Amino acid sequence: MRLVIRDNVDQVSEWTAKYITRRIKDFNPGPDKYFTLGLPTGSTSLGTYKKLIEFIQQGKLSFKYVKTFNMDEYVAIQRDHPGSSHSFMWHNFFKHIDIDPKNAHILDGNATDLIKECNDYEKKITDAGGIELFVGGIAPDGHIGFNEPGSSLASRTRIKILSKDLSIADTSVFEGNCPKQALTVGIQTVMDAREVMILITGAHKAYALHKVIEEGVNHMWTVSAFQQHPQTIFICDEDATLELKVKTVKYFKGLMERYNQLIEEKCEY
């Protein structure tokens, strides 16, 4: 496991965008070889999308041969509702870049057969050759996608009933009319990716970061599952380290020079 610690949110976004860029460029995608990228929604990812848009618009990166798969979508919410993942991804990322819309996959929460939609999504990922890099966010209770506390660590894409906590958290965008269900990739779906990258920023997520990296694997903190993934990068800002042991922070800061080579070698910005 790697833990990249940056000073603030902007630096986390920049480092993450550079890392994604570097991975795509090194992969050297083309018409017969697409790079598959798993993507999150949520405010933490906004800065990364902004940076990626910048690189793409400056001609330093292209999503022409990239296929994306998003984590989750609410059930029975119109695509153009401001709270939907479709809306979030279109307005904050896809409409600004050169991705072919047919390569940008998001679960359809309005499908007539939701179970089939979930199973088909897993198949689409497999048919695309599996996910090369899955980028995710984390909620203060340590969940990813909609794999809330207690979710099976062996889970795959499925329907989830949302907890009261989560519905309350989303009250503003849904004006009190919060969705009760969502479709989400499972923990095992993310585990199957060749590499996993988790973004954690802010003091309100410090306890979650402590639970998921300093304590054992536990389905009550579902992101902790990625301790067992052979290629995981957690990237956080200083505020998110507040609950970590000084020893942990010092250890990983000592590796920053090496980690920075991961984004600097070969990449031209």
Catalytic positions, written as ranges: 72, 141, 143, 148
> Least CB distance from residue 257 to ligand GLP, whole Å?
28
Q: Which of 217, 232, 145 is nearest to 182 (CA)?
A: 145
Q: Is 142 in the site for ligand GLP (CB under 6 A)?
A: no
Find the Cα–Cα–Cα–Cα dihedral 7, 91, 51, 135, rounded to 10°: 70
Which residue from 8, 43, 57, 78 is in contact with ligand GLP, where contact means CB under 6 A? 43
Which residue number, 65 or 88, has a Cβ lying nearer to ligand GLP? 88
Who contacts 210 (Cβ-Cβ below 8 Å, separation ≥6)? 243, 244
| Range 101-130 burial, b when 16+ CB lie within 10 A, else e | eebbbbbbbbbeebeebbebbbeebeebee
d(CA 41, CA 136): 8
d(CA 149, CA 2): 23
Quote the tokens at residue 56: 């793409």
Region 50-79 residues binding ligand GLP, contact defined as CB under 6 A? 71-72
Which residue from 13, 21, 44, 232 is in contact with ligand GLP, where contact means CB under 6 A? 44
> Least CB distance from residue 251 to ligand GLP, whole Å?
26
Total residues contacting ligand GLP by CB under 6 A comes to 12
Of 10-18, 118-126, 132-140, 253-261, the segment contacting ligand GLP by CB under 6 A is 132-140
Evaluate whether 197 touches 233 at the Cβ level (below 8 Å). Answer: yes
Of 38-46, 90-98, 106-114, 250-258, the segment contacting ligand GLP by CB under 6 A is 38-46
> Least CB distance from residue 43 to ligand GLP, whole Å?
4
Quote the tokens at residue 46: 């906004």
Q: Is 171 in the site for ligand GLP (CB under 6 A)?
A: no
Q: Is 145 in the site for ligand GLP (CB under 6 A)?
A: yes
The bridge status of strand 158-161 relative to strand 181-184 is: antiparallel
Region 7-36 residues binding ligand GLP, contact defined as CB under 6 A? none
Which residue number, 98 or 149, has a Cβ lying nearer to ligand GLP? 149
Which residue from 69, 146, 226, 234 is in contact with ligand GLP, where contact means CB under 6 A? 146
Q: Is 196 in the site for ligand GLP (CB under 6 A)?
A: no
- The β-bridge partners of 2 are 233
Which residue from 20, 52, 99, 139 is in contact with ligand GLP, where contact means CB under 6 A? 139
CA 15 to chain centre: 15
Quote the tokens at residue 164: 């009261």
Binding site for ligand GLP (CB under 6 A): 40-44, 71-72, 137-139, 145-146
